[in-house]
A = this chain, B = another copy of it.
Amino acid sequence: MKISSEEYYSDSEWKLFKQEAAKYQTPFLLVNLDIVKKSYQEVEKFFPFSDVYYAVKANPASEIITLLDSLGCNFDIASIYEMESVLACGVKPDKISFGNTIKKLSDIRLAYSKGLRLFATDSEDDLRSIAAAAPGSNIYVRILTEGTATADWPLSRKFGCHPDMATDLLLLARKLKLNPYGVSFHVGSQQRDVGTWDTAISITKYIFDYMADEGINLEMINLGGGLPANYISQTNPLEVYASEIKRYLEEDFGENMPRIIMEPGRSLVGNAGVLISEVVTVARKSRVAVDRWIFLDAGKFNGLVETWDECIKYPLVCEKADFTCEDGVLAGPTCDSQDIMYEHYRYRIPVNLCPGDRIYWLTAGAYTASYASVDFNGFPPLKTHFIGE
């Protein structure tokens, strides 16, 4: 498979990436903030019916937080540490949702003391902690959803609860003097099947009706994340997701549309980043080996963790890509044998690629730098450089 940067970036964007990349030693991530801005504006344009809460975990860099804040974005945080970073960027606490359902009592207390009033939950333990440490707060319950078969980085049963328990929790929230505010779900990251939102929205509608019968008027649906970035696997364009999701919502809620929020992460910052690596060694394992092993200075433990099980297939652009290509195995620089990015899925690699040549990992802005190991095999975490804005 021959990959061209043109399918992913405009000429001027790609030229700027290449030009800026030349200034730094590999490996590093280069994020173009103008592309983040463009992505945010696209989401705003296609989803005018929804408030946007950026999933900070996708890329917690303060440059991105500050930019998105200036554009009017809200923030979904996974921990008190993310909360502190976001607040340190000047974000107001009423623009922050604590989206992780796994929270220590002390964490909730800290969040509440900083002004947060919107919390996700999916268990009685957690709900009681919120009631104790964040009285009167707005609660949304996360429900379990299906759809993992069509998500490239699937979600498991770790988060969410069955609808029967969701209704129990919302009733308990009222009893505990919290505000039962809404329902959330997450259809899986890099979800390629728009239809998975339909099912989740239908279940949500059922919960809204059930709660109305109990005298509780839920006000909000959190559509979660899952919108795609541009990797190798084909997805629908963003506007198709938008129009389909809008249709599902209208079919179920009609004139009584609740407040809609969503938590894009990957789709806001994925495309904005290119990870630049260098070939360290090219090797064959025997005199007549068919396979060529391409060892890079970036690997699973310093930025490319989403290649685990070869889940995310990044578009790769090689120097010398105009030459004859053949299949190659791509591996990282550590002594760990698990540090192989692609062995089963074969990329086409120029036959004359050699140590010092660069390989560009497109659409690498999400779930790369912050995932990197702190010190594995001594390699430092992946650096990020910024362009634009």
Chain A residues with a Cβ under 8 A of chain B: 55-57, 60, 77-85, 99-105, 122-126, 129, 144, 153-162, 164-165, 168, 278, 280-287, 289, 293, 295, 297, 301, 308, 331, 333-340, 343, 354-355, 369-381
Determine whether the beta carbon of A285 is less than 8 Å from that of B162.
Answer: yes
- Cα A337 to Cα B340 in complex, Å, equals 22
CB distance from A167 to the nearest CB of B (A): 10
**21 A-B pairs whose Cβ atoms sit less than 8 Å apart in the complex:** A55-B335, A56-B378, A60-B375, A79-B334, A79-B378, A84-B378, A100-B335, A101-B281, A102-B331, A104-B297, A104-B355, A105-B355, A123-B281, A125-B282, A126-B281, A144-B285, A156-B340, A156-B343, A308-B308, A370-B373, A370-B376
Instruction: Pick the residue among B60, B105, B123, B334 that contacts A284 (CB under 8 A).
Output: B123
A242 to B340, CA, bound (A): 32
In the complex the two chains form, is A374's CB within 8 Å of B370's CB?
Answer: yes
Asked if A157 meets B285 with Cβ closer than 8 Å, knowing A370-B376, A373-B370, A373-B372, the reply is: yes
Chain B residues, CB < 8 A from A378: 56-57, 60, 77-85
Q: Is there contact, CB below 8 Å, between A280 and B78?
A: no
State how many angstroms separate the Cβ of A56 from the closest Cβ of chain B. 7
Chain B residues with Cβ under 8 A from A155's Cβ? Answer: 337
Q: Is A338 a contact partner of B281 (Cβ separation < 8 A)?
A: no
A157–B292 Cα distance when bound, in Å, is: 12
B381 touches A371 (CB 8 A): no
CB neighbours of A334 from chain B (8 A): 57, 78-79, 100
Query: In the complex, A134→B284 CA distance in Å?
Result: 22
Chain B residues with Cβ under 8 A from A337's Cβ? 154-156, 158-159
A283: chain B residues within 8 A (beta carbon)? 122-126, 161
Bound state CA distance, A204 and B235, in angstroms? 51
Q: What is the distance, in angstroms, from A132's C-beta to the closest C-beta of chain B? A: 11
Neighbour of A99 across the interface among B60, B82, B161, B335, CB < 8 A? B335
State whether B81 touches A380 (Cβ < 8 A). yes
Within 8 Å CB of A84, what residues of B?
378
Given contacts A159-B335, A308-B308, A337-B154, contact A372 B371 (CB under 8 A): no
What separation, in Å, do the CA atoms of A340 and B165 have in the docked complex? 22
